[in-house]
């Protein structure tokens, strides 16, 4: 077990001519569930693969405490980013690996592998271990990734869209076992997802990524408390929101709606002329990404 922070400084990643990550700085603490939210192509997966040293960064450095993560098994033993299954399944021609081969490999490679937990989850997910990985459906692949991530017992565990392809019941089940494992172990999880509202109550902190840059990292509840949607007649709204940090605005005729992030001490009062409504995490995210 380590209580060190995972710190990523000035990470830039360039693929060809495309800058996928631009000078990203991030500090992750032990014992939190982080949500990584971003649109397709925002750099979520690339970011996670830099943090776990699965891909080399163009510039910058990731450190676990005093240990650099790159090519350092001492640091890597505390980190698990289980994702590759999907990619290998997609272009692995004729490689006949089965689910049980993957689980066996995991038991060899992952230092704190919890076999009992893996077995239990396989049973509960009703996953056929004899099935070839390339023949798994999207949902079953998600399950396999989840099993490896949870049973890895790694201090820093990354889940890249773990619920993609899972049905509602399975998604709820996943968040339940994630919380169960989290509260028992105090591990750190980073979960990226597009289904924001479902995850919003689970995420202690949210990290928003847009076009390769972190645009926000904040305690989820604190963020929601200072995010408001103000609507009414245009001049009334303008007067009420003057000087506030405005994320996004929309106009229809004389009507106007503005999503604002209030800073400490700022306030917008709901009255007869003005509707001030709370917004959810998804709405904050959409407002931040719309230009």
- Residues of this chain that interact with another protein (CB under 8 A) are 45, 49, 52-56, 71-73, 76-77, 79-88, 91-93, 95, 97, 102, 104-106, 108-111, 154, 229, 231-233, 236, 250-257, 272-273, 275, 277, 279, 283
Closest C-alpha to 171, from 184, 162, 160, 159: 162
Q: Which residues, including other chains, have CB under 8 Å from residue 189's CB and lie 6 or more apart? A: 32, 33, 34, 157, 158, 159, 178, 182
Rg (CA), the chain: 21
Bridging pattern class, strands 205-210 and 33-38: parallel
DSSP lists the bridge partners of residue 169 as none
- Cβ distance to another protein smaller for residue 23 or 72: 72
Least separation in angstroms between residue 68's CB and another protein is 12
Cβ closest to another protein, residue 10 vs residue 271: 271
Burial of 282 (C-beta count, 10 Å sphere; 0-12/13-18/19+): middle
d(CA 229, CA 249): 9
Q: How far is the CB of 52 from another protein (least distance, A)?
A: 8
Shorter beta-carbon distance to another protein: residue 93 or 183: 93
Q: Provide, rounded to whole angstroms, the least separation between the CB of residue 124 and another protein.
A: 23
Least CB distance from residue 231 to another protein, whole Å?
4
Closer to another protein by Cβ: residue 33 or 75 = 75
> Shortest approach of another protein to residue 54 CB, angstroms?
5
* Closer of 205 and 259 to another protein (Cβ): 259
By beta-carbon proximity to another protein, the closer residue of 12 and 217 is 12
Q: What angle do CA 4, 5, 7 make, to 5 degrees?
A: 140
The answer to whether the Cα torsion of 180, 153, 158, 123 is positive or negative is negative
Cβ nearer to another protein, comparing 180 with 290? 290
| Minimal distance, residue 28 CB to another protein, in Å | 17
How near is the Cβ of 232 to another protein at its closest, in Å?
A: 6
Decide: 38 and 86 in contact? Cβ < 8 Å. Answer: no
Quick one: which of 73, 63, 46 has its CA closest to 7?
Answer: 63
Nearest approach, Cβ of residue 84 and another protein (Å): 3
Measured from the CB atom, is 207 or 284 closer to another protein? 284
Write out the two tokens for 137: 């459906």
């Amino acid at each position: 077990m380590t209580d060190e922070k995972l710190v990523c400084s000035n990470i830039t990643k360039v693929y060809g001519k495309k800058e996928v990550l631009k000078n990203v700085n991030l500090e992750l603490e032990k014992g939190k569930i982080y949500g990584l939210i971003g649109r397709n192509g925002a750099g979520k997966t690339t970011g996670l693969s830099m943090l776990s040293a699965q891909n080399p960064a163009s510039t910058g450095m990731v450190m676990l405490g005093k240990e650099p993560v790159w090519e350092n098994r001492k640091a890597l033993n505390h980190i698990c980013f289980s994702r590759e299954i999907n990619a290998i399944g997609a272009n692995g021609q004729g490689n006949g690996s089965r689910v049980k081969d993957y689980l066996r490999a995991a038991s060899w490679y992952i230092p704190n592998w919890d076999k009992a937990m893996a077995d239990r989850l396989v049973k509960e997910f009703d996953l056929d271990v004899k099935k070839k990985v390339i023949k798994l459906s999207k949902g079953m692949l998600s399950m396999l990734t989840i099993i490896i991530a949870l049973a890895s017992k790694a201090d820093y565990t990354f889940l890249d869209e773990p619920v993609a392809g899972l049905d509602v019941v399975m998604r709820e089940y996943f968040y339940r076992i994630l919380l169960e494992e989290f509260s028992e172990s105090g591990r750190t999880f980073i979960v990226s997802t597009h289904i924001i509202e479902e995850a919003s109550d689970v995420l202690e902190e949210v990290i928003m990524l847009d076009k390769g840059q972190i645009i926000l990292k904040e305690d989820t509840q604190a963020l929601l408390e200072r995010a408001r949607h103000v609507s009414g007649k245009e001049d009334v709204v303008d007067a009420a929101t003057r000087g506030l940090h405005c994320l996004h605005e929309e106009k229809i005729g004389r009507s106007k709606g503005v999503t604002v992030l209030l800073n400490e001490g700022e306030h917008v009062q709901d009255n007869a002329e003005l509707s001030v409504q709370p917004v959810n995490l998804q709405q904050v995210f959409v407002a931040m990404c719309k230009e």
